A = this chain, B = another copy of it.
Amino acid sequence: MIDLAILGLLKEQELHGYELRKRLGGLPGARAGVVSFGSLYPALARLEKAGYVKAVSASEAAPAPVPSSGSLVGELAAFRARHVRPTRTGRSKKVYGITPLGEEALLERLADPTPTDDRTFALQVAFCRHLAPSERLALFERRRAHVAGQIAEAGRRRERERSLDGYLRSLRERDEASLTTDLAWLDRLIAEERAATPEEPAP
């Protein structure tokens, strides 16, 4: 999960850990919270050891072309980052960039056909522009099938346990409503995707 998020963000732009965390928190699906430093920094170290990311000189960090934060503070910080002078003593900003190996790993994680949790799927969609159109569509279709399957299962369960009392019944209704909302969204997403992609005739 965190690996996918880090690789996806670094593919767009070189960043240091602290900034990375801020952007992680701003990513959809919004219902999941911010990641902690205690998991972010070890993850960065792990990814660096694996050769997926590498620390670059702090001054190489590109200032955001479109400042996603919109804050003046962020702009000033970016400006200052450009003429930072390396201090003799330890703790200082460490800017990371993605490596070619890391880009491969990102594509693998984006195309991974294993059904994932909501949060990971949201991240896959957030960065799916890096996939080939056919793989992107496959990602959406797989998810659609997964959600459709859950709806079918919920329907079967409803048949089996008709006359369920109060709160349990309400919870089942909620499950079905949420699955139905999600399916409708996926159908829109898929329709838009097909509309945007000129059809590929069979070879």
> In the complex, are the beta carbons of A68 and B161 less than 8 A apart?
yes
Q: Which B residues lie within 8 Å of A91 (CB)?
A: none
Most buried by B among A28, A166, A181: A28
How far apart are A25's CB and chain B's nearest CB, in angstroms?
Answer: 11
Q: How many residues of A contact B (CB 8 A)?
A: 38
Q: Which B residues lie within 8 Å of A175 (CB)?
A: 28-31
Interface check A21, CB cutoff 8 A: no
Kindly specify which of A41-49, A79-87, A99-107, A120-128 makes contact with the partner chain.
Answer: A120-128
Query: In the complex, A182→B29 CA distance in Å?
Result: 15
Task: Among B128, B170, B182, point to the contact of A189 (Cβ < 8 A).
Answer: B170
Query: In the complex, A189→B169 CA distance in Å?
Result: 11
Q: Which B residues lie within 8 Å of A170 (CB)?
A: 125, 185, 188-189, 192
Q: Which B residues lie within 8 Å of A168 (CB)?
A: 28, 126
Query: In the complex, A150→B30 CA distance in Å?
Result: 8
